[in-house]
Structure 1
Amino acid sequence: MTRTDVCCVISFQHCSVEMKLQCDVEVVNRMLPTFGMKSRGKGARAVLSIGKHLDKTSQRSSVYMMICTAKDRAGSKYKLKDNIEKFFTWFVEEGKATVRLKEPAVDICLSKADANSLKNFLSAARLADRGSDASSLPLSTLTPVRARDVEQPKKKLTIVSKKDYPLTSGFPYSLEQLQVSYCKLSRVDMRMLSLKALRKLDLSNNHIKKLPATIGDLSCLSELVLHNNHLESFSVALCLSTLQRTLQILDLSQNRLQALPAQFCQLRELVNLKLDDNELISLPFHIGRLSKLRFLSAAHNQLAVLPGDFRRLSLENLDLFGNPFVQPNSLDHKMNLTFPLPLQEMASRAVANLRITFGPDLIPAHLCRDLEVAKTCICSRVCVNFYIKTAVCMNLHQVSHTVVLVDDMGGTDAPVQQHFCSLSCYSEFLDNSLQRGIR
């Protein structure tokens, strides 16, 4: 026995599980091309086992591989000892491998297997081929399988009744879409967060008050629906998670949100965002950073004015109906300027205007936070904590192709915040506004 064989045997002796593997299998006859035929190139869900079988011809027990599928639950058996011509394991880390047999002349193509389970199975097959002592292998009994063992992996599951909610059994590991609605869930079931293939999670119409940060561990999640729950916040941790790279559709409508964190705009893959029927008094300061956003609805909230960064959006559809927007007055302003400007403000402005790289390793963390919410004046220069602020009227068609009417009067204008870095910029703005009014 080689050193590799000994290592495999030792690892198997520490493993009490039987030698079974669940994956997709295609058995390809290598003689088909001789007869001008091709394999169909598609695997079937199967359970593979390695165990002893009595050869009726020789009346001796040998180690065989048995493959059971939905069409052949009794299984087909293939002798292993001195019968494996070659293993193809280039893509074993992706759950793929091929075992080439001498007799019959077939290639057993394996795919969609757990990588570690596949490695153990191939190691056992290699030992059986070399004639290793069968007592050193965790052999299985070669018996027919149950129908559910060879069913295709379930990719979509919809539960819309509390009585159908799985309390004892788990969710199928292969799920890509999961909807659990009308089940009166007060929190997210942690079992859902182990579904690593999940692309869409719909938890609408429940009683969820808080989202666990571990939702951010769902590395494939592109759609999250939380419509009609009791959410009061959207955590910073979620904004900084892998959702930054994957989340495209987010529905937070009909909740109890009063604000979204500044870091919300880190979710830069968002295409569709629904915030209707909440209690939002403002939208995130840097909402313009959501450059891929095309559909935005925030109807029936408490928005009085939109952030200045709103101008940078490029939308296909926008709905802000039913918000208590104030009628902007250029003369109605908030003055937050001192003369001369404090040294810290001047330094912060210089860092922003000169686009100097900054970070908590270079300057204090509170200064980084200030610079993160720096405002842009109409002169294109930056102001940080000292400015003049007012609201100006903007036609929403400037940022969206289609606009749902803002009010019952048929208007498509809304107030947007505007900051000025100095009195001279504010005065110039007032002069231009007055001249437009005279015309």
Structure 2
Amino acid sequence: MLLNGLISIQDLSIPGQTQIRPLRSSLLSKQVNGVYFLTIKNSMYPNCINYKVADLEAVHTKFVKDGKATLRFKQPKHQILLNADDRNMLFMFLRQIQDIISGKDVKIGTRQIPKKIPSKKDVNRFDPSAHEFIAADRFDKRILNMRQLHSLILENCVLPSLPEHIGDLPISLLSLTGSKLATASQYDQDIYWNWMSKNTISNTLTSLKMDSVNLKILPFEIMFLKKLQDLSLAKNKLINLPQCIGELKKLHTLSISDNLLRFMPDNLINKQFKSLDVSNNHFINEQRDAEIINNFNSKVYEYNKNKQVNKVERIKTVNTNCINLVLLTIRSIINNSIRFYRQEIPRTLWRYFDAAGRCRKCEQFVLPQAYFEFIHFKNPQAIDYQWSNYITVVPWLSFECYKCIELSCL
């Protein structure tokens, strides 16, 4: 028996899943080798999805007079919501199911589901149970229903906004390479990276590729991706890397070639990389840019020179300084891995998360107005290390807070 109407399929194995929108569908009962099946075909399941009638757990018919019914299955753990075009056909369909469940020998005709779903345009077809999806040229919202997805390839696509619900997918690989991605440099608006703040993706994503997306600033939300091992940011316009990248403890592969970087964040200096590519950047050279380096490193000496206090007063200053409430908040959020959305905090605080860094001595997070910057040179630790010919050693930018500077002068 064939039943046409609006059908939505809920996956009850996914906690908190909201009801997905109903689609024009065909529902067919059939018998194969003595086993009864219910088959659904729609734009989400163009090749059909089959359910054994024997796995039917419950049938809800409270609103059957309105042409509606609900079928719940044990395996797969799905709930089917029916809204039939023909109420009488729904009555006959449910009666047939009841006869099958009661053990009657029900004869089912050989009528097949039509090749095309009624009143539905042709769409790009894909399997919602697939483990990998490669987009053709744009983002398809149906991807958000692919709850078994492991790899999502959105390369060379037009992505004016990336839905935050991508963060609800249990993917381990996400590639945005070559896509027209919304960045602050392209659009006169605030750009949000809420998908990085989602609990699911922060616990599953191990590889992120954002090559050639015209990225000028790496969002501080990158620090929420705690499982990230492989990060590729090649061929962008990055001037610096935020200090929060050092919070990615499992990161062992990093590609930042062909950018505008002048130095590396110091909190990566002791990391053991499997692969590191820093070639074709604008790194400060130890011999060529001596004046720039001296300007950085001389500030702390000027600070100490101009401090007209004795040792006792310095100790008093260190012990009685009030800690900034903003700093306390940032420390608490980062140290406790508290996820949040950028728009939930004042816009004036965004720059603090972009610039806040750990002091190289006490390893506490400090704000820009409470630390001095130093540049020193050292080669990174990497098994596979790629660099430009003119670079002898890599420049590293490190921070030292007022408190540690003053204590070192005692």
2:135 corresponds to 1:177 = no
Which residues of 2 match residues 220-369 of structure 1 at below 5 A?
220-233=170-183, 235-241=192-198, 242-311=200-269, 313-327=271-285, 331-333=294-296, 335=299, 343-345=321-323
Any idea what SS the aligned residue of 2:208 has?
strand
In structure 2, the partner of 1:189 is: 140
Quote the offset at 1:374 in angstroms. Answer: 4.5
Pick the aligned partner of 1:408 from 362, 369, 389: 389
- Partners of 2:271 and 2:79 in 1: CA distance: 46
Give a deviation string over 1:15-70, Cα, whole Å, max 9, x none.
Answer: 97799x9xxxxxxxxxxxxxxxxxxxxxxxxx9965xxxxxxxxxxxxxxx533xx
The structure with the largest alpha-carbon Rg is 1
Counterpart selection for 1:418 from 390, 398, 404: 398
Per-residue CA deviations over 1:61-108 (Å, capped at 9, x if unaligned) read xxxxx533xxxxxxx3469xxxxxxxxxxxxxxx89967xxxxxxxxx
SS at match of 1:197: coil
For residues 189-246 of structure 1, give each alpha carbon's deviation from its aligned partner in whole angstroms, at most 9, with x where no partner exists: 22333322222121212343432223223x2222111111222437320210232112
Structure 1 residues 420 and 228: CA distance shift in structure 2, 3 A: same
Question: How far apart are the structure 2 equivalents of 1:167 and 1:78?
Answer: 32
Change over 3 Å in CA distance of 1:169–1:387 after alignment to 2: closer
**Which amino acid counterpart does residue 133 of structure 2 have in structure 1?**
L
TM-score when normalising by structure 2: 0.59
| Paired residue type of 1:331 | N
Q: Kindly, what percent of the aligned residue pairs are identical?
A: 20
Relative to structure 1, the CA distance from residue 130 to residue 168 in structure 2 (aligned partners, 3 Å threshold; closer, same or farther) is closer
**Rounded Cα–Cα distance in structure 1 between residues aligned with 2:327 and 2:253:** 34
Question: Residues 291-326 of structure 1, C-alpha deviation per residue, up to 9 Å, x if partnerless?
Answer: 222211010001111122223533200001000011
**SS of the residue aligned with 1:302?**
coil
Superimposed CA distance per residue, residues 336-391 of structure 1 (whole angstroms, 9 cap, x where no aligned partner):
869657944477788969x998999xxxx779975896533343253433121121
Q: Where does structure 2 lack aligned partners over 5 or more consecutive residues?
A: 10-25, 37-50, 56-72, 82-92, 184-190, 308-316, 340-344
How many Å apart are 1:276 and its aligned residue? 0.4
Count of residues paired in the alignment: 310
Taking a change above 3 Å as real, the CA distance of residues 172 and 277 of structure 1, as seen in their structure-2 partners, is: same
**8 Å CA contact 1:396, 1:414 repeated in 2:** yes
State the partner residue of 2:373: 389
Q: Which moved more, 1:228-237 or 1:312-321?
A: 228-237
Deviation at 1:425, TM superposition (A): 3.5
Is 2:161 the counterpart of 1:210?
Answer: yes
Structure 1 CA distance for aligned equivalents of residues 407 and 371 of structure 2:
13
After superposing the two structures, state which structure 1 stretch, 334-343 or 188-197, moved more: 334-343
Helix, strand or coil at the partner of 1:309: helix
What RMSD in Å do the two structures reach over aligned CA positions? Answer: 5.0
Aligned CA distance change for structure 1 residues 117 and 347 (closer, same or farther; 3 Å): closer
Q: Counterpart in 1 of 2:311?
A: none
Counterpart of 1:107? none
SS at match of 1:317: strand
Residue 110 (structure 2) aligned to one of 135, 143, 162: 143
Give the secondary-structure state (helix, strand or coil) at the position aligned to 1:67.
strand
| CA deviations over 1:137-194 (Å, ceiling 9, x no partner) | xx99432657999xxxxxxxxxxxxxxxx9535433222212134x4x4xx2223333
DSSP 3-state at the match of 2:79: helix
